[in-house]
Structure 1
Amino acid sequence: MNTALILASIAAVQHDILSHESEIESLDRAIGDGDHFINVRRGCEVLVALSPSLQDAPPSIALQKIGLKLLGTIGGASGPLISSFFLAMGKSFEGIDEPDRRQFATAFAAGVEAIKSRGKADVGEKTMLDVLIPASRLLSRMTDEGAGLPELCAQMHEEAQRNMLATKDMIATKGRAYFLGERALGHIDPGCKTCEVAIGAVCKTVLQEVTV
């Protein structure tokens, strides 16, 4: 996961997020603040604009600059959470110019843990962590097992989809949906949908860019 692959993944995430605009907006109108997609789209736009200046930076510096940029760009509660994810990943990559899969899995886990710590949330609370925590655990396990890249990417996206859909049956205990109580039942968490789309985009990019 070098800087070139990070930047290619950002472009892919922006493309796929825009492709799911109506779905994500609809989910957020149902149980969110109604500005989730606007904030995510803004974040993607500034990162794509920032990308040319990051091309020669090592992954650690690139990710930390991404995190700081998002902190001042994405509004609402999600800004500090997503920013902390990239900052923690960047810190994990310090001194590593070409992180391998194990190092990437460790950095991803650190990023997810940063969101968990900052948001004071966990699995089962109808937040983005319902996708991110299981995805991180699967990535670490399959990396330790030496799984091939195609299998790893396929299972990562399947895990993200499965856990995203599972939020339909959850009552939120965090965020705006918390105030809806049982009325949030039957609705997918919009943050989980965004994470599922992003994971799918990154997996697709990795398979295209990396020699298996």
Structure 2
Amino acid sequence: MTIDETTLKSMFSDIATAITADRDRLCALDGVIGDADHGIAMELGFNAARDAVAALGPEADPTAVLNTAAKAFLNAVGASSGPLYATAFMRAGAVAKGKAVLSDADFVEVFRAMAQGIRDRGKAEPGEKTMIDAWVPAAEAAAAASAGGASAAEAIDAAAKAADKGAEATKAMVAAKGRSARLGDRSIGHVDPGAASAVTVITAIAKSLSAAQA
């Protein structure tokens, strides 16, 4: 399939819808080890991104869509997730630069750039109970699936499954980053809210691509 600005606009709309549906659960997760506002922050960010990219004309290329989403998300969310997702979309836009449409393989590279952007900006590594514990295995799974000939939708579906396993694994981890780190061993037994929302985002991307491919 070819992925253009229309596909990406739909993708951001689908993510926003999924995050809104999951907002209360994400806030509840964050209430255990954080400030109970993660779902609200993610909803604000993705609603802003959705609205900003929807306002772009049909001449916008994938890079313009991704960069616009980055700026809108950052402007809407001052919390830690703002700079993380803004960096993700900026990195993705850099990978897409010069392309009016993205191939399946191109999109997987865009997705991997998002994960790497979050990892670099957050200075986090797997095992520290952050969204990285969902994003890194997701990126690896997408790359492996794509290398095996999977479509972008199939590759991101594999990524969503890997992200879900990664998020679930954060239950057994001691938080090492952010405000939840102050809880020490008391953070054990709870899924990291950032990892949980990453699953929601990645699953929404997979479903959006599947719908576009159908």
Could you say which TM-score interval applies, normalised by the shorter chain? over 0.9
Q: 1:95 aligns with which of 98, 111, 122?
A: 98
Structure 1 window deviating more from structure 2 (88-97 vs 66-75): it is 66-75
Task: Tell me, in whole angstroms, the C-alpha distance in 2 between the residues paired with 1:138 and 1:74.
Answer: 29
Kept in 2, the 8 Å contact 1:3–1:55? The answer is no
Look up the match of 1:37.
39
TM-score by length of 1: 0.93
How far apart, CA to CA, are the structure 1 residues paired with 2:142 and 2:106? 11
The aligned counterpart of 1:129 is 132
Greater than 6 Å deviation, 4+ residue runs: none
Counterpart position of 1:109: 112
Q: Deviations over 1:48-106 (max 9, x none)?
A: 22133224210011101111121211121111111000001001111011111221222
1:17 alignment partner, one of 14, 19, 38: 19
The answer on 1:161 being equivalent to 2:156 is no
Contact 1:105 1:139 (C-alpha < 8 Å) held by counterparts: yes
Q: CA RMSD in A?
A: 1.5
Query: In structure 2, what is the equivalent of residue 192 of structure 1?
Result: 195
Paired residues in the alignment total 211
| Structure 2 segments unaligned to the other structure (5+ residues) | none
Q: In structure 1, the residue corresponding to 2:55 is in which secondary structure?
A: helix
What SS does structure 2 have at the residue aligned with 1:33? Answer: coil
Q: Which runs of 5+ in 1 are unaligned?
A: none
1:148 to partner: Cα distance:
4.7
Instruction: Give the AA of the match of 2:72.
Output: K
| Cα distance change, pair 94–149 in 1 and its aligned pair in 2 (3 A) | closer
After superposition, the Cα gap between the structure-2 partners of 1:190 and 1:116, relative to the gap in structure 1 and judged at 3 Å, is same
152-161 or 172-181: bigger deviation: 152-161
> CA 1:45 to 1:143, structure 2 compared with 1: closer, same or farther past 3 Å?
same
Q: What TM-score comes out, normalization by structure 2 length? A: 0.93
What is the aligned counterpart of 2:78 among 56, 75, 80?
75
